[in-house]
Amino acid sequence: MVQGITGREGSGHALSMLKYGSKVVAGVTPGKAGENVGGVPVYNSMKSALNAHPEINASIIFVPAAYNADAVYEAVDSGLKLVVDITEHVPVKDSLKFINYAREKNVTIIGPNCPGLISPGECKIGIMPGHIFSKGSVGIISRSGTLTYEIAWVLTNSGLGQSTAVGIGGDPIIGRDSVEIIDMFENDGGTDAVIVIGEIGGDAEERLASRIRQKGTKKPIVSFIAGRQAPPGKRMGHAGAIISMGSGGAADKIKALESVGVKVAELPSQIPQLIKTAVR
């Protein structure tokens, strides 16, 4: 289901997902019931959409930031277990509240401010260009949409297909972080190795290193950390990409990951060889 399907972004990406082969069966925009986007019927509410299409099991949100929280709450309360929130500029106070609410309801939120996720050749719930991905066994977790695309393209051109790529988002507060997605990949029989694409700011990569130190890992992990040349204390790119309180720098993240055996590439172009070496 696409929430906000009649807007410019929602309609354009709904058509792109359909073209890729994703089963988009309904859209929601209040006041637009009876319309359709590329043959996908539009409903006023998720309740109406789910009554007509009980097979729906995921939602993607293209609702403007001012109304985004309401859309997330509606999705969570509908009973769906996967909600992908694409919207940018969502107030942190809104994200904090609806993500905690979703956790209480055992609902997985990806995002906000993310490109979504894709299992190449099977399904795309997001805005990524599907043609650069190829089916395979390398999982991708990324805070950066653009770097996801670049590294997926590098992998594809090197003959390394991907099992699933998850763009977790670059905001300070997100639904699922790299630590939690690693756990999912650990239990995925179709994934042989994982790439973690990080960036300066926050402590997600340091927490991932701590998780690996405590639990170990069943599958090789390779990483790339963006922002090596960022001036100290500067915000770079995403809202969450800021170094503060003496943590979050690229050097700190790289040191933490390498200390638990994760190979960290200096350039995206080095990742295919690191993956090939790791899975031998």
Task: Walk me through the domains of the chain, giving residue ranges and CATH numbers.
Answer: 2-110 (3.40.50.720), 116-278 (3.40.50.261)
Average confidence score pLDDT of the chain: 92
Is the predicted pLDDT of residue 221 greater than 50, yes or no? yes
For the entire predicted model, the pTM comes to 0.92
Q: What would the mean pLDDT of 38-47 be, rounded to a whole number?
A: 97
Is the predicted pLDDT of residue 90 greater than 70, yes or no? yes
Provide the pLDDT for residue 240: 52
Provide the pLDDT for residue 60: 98
Q: What would the mean pLDDT of 86-100 be, rounded to a whole number?
A: 97
Provide the pairing of β-strand 135-142 with 40-43. unpaired
Question: Rounded to whole angstroms, how far apart are CA atoms 185 and 138?
Answer: 10
Is the predicted pLDDT of residue 114 greater than 80, yes or no? yes
Each residue of 21-33: pLDDT tens digit?
Answer: 999 999 999 999 9
Provide the pLDDT for residue 231: 64
Each residue of 246-255: pLDDT tens digit?
Answer: 457 888 899 9
Question: Rounded to whole angstroms, how far apart are CA atoms 116 and 126?
Answer: 4
Provide the pLDDT for residue 226: 87
129-156 exposure pattern, b = at least 16 Cβ within 10 A, e = fewer = ebebbbebbbbbbbbbbebbbbbbbbbb
Provide the pLDDT for residue 173: 92
- List, in order, residues 6 or more apart from 180 with CB less than 8 Å away: none
Question: Rounded to whole angstroms, how far apart are CA atoms 208 and 214?
Answer: 10
Each residue of 129-179: pLDDT tens digit?
Answer: 999 999 999 999 999 899 999 999 999 999 999 999 999 998 989 999 999
Q: What would the mean pLDDT of 99-109 be, rounded to a whole number?
A: 97
Is the predicted pLDDT of residue 233 greater than 70, yes or no? no
Give the tokens for residue 71.
């859309």
The pLDDT-based confidence of 245 (bands split at 50, 70, 90) is very low
Provide the pLDDT for residue 119: 98
Provide the pLDDT for residue 99: 97
Catalytic residue check, 238: yes
Q: Are 161 and 121 in contact (CB under 8 A)?
A: no
Q: What would the mean pLDDT of 214-235 be, rounded to a whole number?
A: 81
Is the predicted pLDDT of residue 190 greater than 90, yes or no? yes
Q: 221 phi and psi, to 5 degrees?
A: -125, 130
